[in-house]
Amino acid sequence: MKILLANPRGFCAGVNMAIESLERALELFGKPIYVYHEIVHNRPVVDRFRKLGVVFVDDIRDIPSGSVVLYSAHGVAPAIRQLAAERHLRAIDATCPLVTKVHLEAVRFAREGYTILLIGHEGHDEVVGTMGEAPENIHLVQTVEDVDRLPFSSESKLAFLTQTTLSVDDAEVIIRALRRRYPRIQGPSRDDICYATQNRQEAVKELAPEADVVLVLGSQNSSNSMRLAELASACGKPAHLIDSADQIEEDWFTGTETVLITAGASAPEENVVECVEYLKKALRCRSRKPNHSRGACQFSFAPRITRRLRNLTDSRIHFFSAGFSSRGGFPKRCRNRLIACNTFGLLISHRSKRRRPGKSTSMIPIRIVNTP
């Protein structure tokens, strides 16, 4: 039997950033470190950090006053930041910058008087955080049927945003329905669905026809991993969403010649390797890595900022505020937006399809803001 390894797969830049932030926080502050919600939606990753002394909570009020708290990659609502400040928590914000982009768009549309239709899944941590930016202005839309039930007239001042981890195809169906019913509806200047979600879905679409069975590494509460499994099923292939090789059942591969393995953006590569080794040993498989990789993106640490943070481990709260600009400086919409200690000062480098290989945008400028 042959193994196809989808490329790209696994950790995206935002997940890498959040995990590295938590590892760095443990080094600097020691345990316990509290994390509001799961750092990423992946059971093996969460279990590993629990063993290192990380405490995951779903209520910010469960964290002792004065403790260190890290916000997950999915982002949080302003009300959570306010509660953290009232409890004198030292906050580290590991929100993915692409999620922060959606938050800023929600704030802008609300300020301009729009009613916002957020395309996403009810209860998902990212959706909860985005809706918290303008709760009186945002309505959740999950399906085309929800579009038909909206109470607004065609002349209403509407805008739409999307959760970053949706199926590209499913989101496009809903967006088309919104545009048909509301021709004047406004959308974001650039797609909200993140590059990693899109690229991993494209890889599965391209490779699924060559496979008989698809294995998706990821947890059941991972939106982007679920979308990969659903996409493989839509291509007519049996798809299994698993956390690790322990969940593989050999009868899945009866009469199978080729298995495609991919991983959601929150699934670690070691779990993929574990599955490949298991299949090689149990079923005498051989592996092939297709040449399918595009849209590389990395959020990396600024060493100078990290060195400065090492001296800030007392009870004072220090924040880093990052502006998103390819030419440097802080855009007006970001200047008054405080992003709490955005992963110890980050630089972002993004290689887009429109740029020549090796060329990237300028680094995001970082500034430190001291608070009482």
| CATH code for the domain of 113 | 3.40.1010.20
Q: 27, 86, 105, 126: which one is catalytic?
A: 126
**In the listed set 131, 149, 181, which residue is the last one of a domain according to the structure?**
181
**In the listed set 161, 181, 201, which residue is the last one of a domain according to the structure?**
181
pLDDT at position 283: 79
Query: Where does the pLDDT of residue 170 fall: very low under 50, low under 70, confident under 90, or very high at 90 and above?
Result: confident
Known catalytic membership, residue 126: yes
| Tokens linked to 205 | 């679409």
Residue 362 lies in a domain: yes
Instruction: List, for residues 51-66, the tens digit of each pLDDT value.
Output: 999 999 999 999 999 9
**In the listed set 142, 161, 181, which residue is the last one of a domain according to the structure?**
181
For residue 72, pLDDT over 80 is answered with yes
Query: Where does the pLDDT of residue 329 fall: very low under 50, low under 70, confident under 90, or very high at 90 and above?
Result: very low
Strands 317-322 and 366-371: antiparallel
Q: Pick the range with the lowest mean pLDDT from 28-42, 130-144, 286-300.
A: 286-300
**Distance in angstroms (rounded) separating the CA atoms of residues 264 and 218:** 5
Query: Where does the pLDDT of residue 198 fall: very low under 50, low under 70, confident under 90, or very high at 90 and above?
Result: confident
- Residue 94 Cα to chain centre, angstroms: 10
User: Structural domain of residue 342, as residue ranges?
Assistant: 304-372
**Distance in angstroms (rounded) separating the CA atoms of residues 66 and 87:** 7
Question: Cβ(161)–Cβ(100) under 8 Å?
Answer: no
Residue 351 lies in a domain: yes
Domain count, the chain: 2
For 195, counting Cβ atoms within 10 Å of its Cβ (0-12 exposed, 13-18 middle, 19+ buried), the class is buried
Query: Where does the pLDDT of residue 294 fall: very low under 50, low under 70, confident under 90, or very high at 90 and above?
Result: very low
Residue 224 lies in a domain: no
Question: Cβ(258)–Cβ(1) under 8 Å?
Answer: yes
Residue 71 lies in a domain: no
Question: Cβ(218)–Cβ(264) under 8 Å?
Answer: yes
CA distances from 226 to 78, 92, 96, 263, 272 (A): 28, 28, 19, 10, 16
CB atoms within 10 A of CB 70: 27
Residue 131 lies in a domain: yes
Residue 74 lies in a domain: no
Residue 199 lies in a domain: no
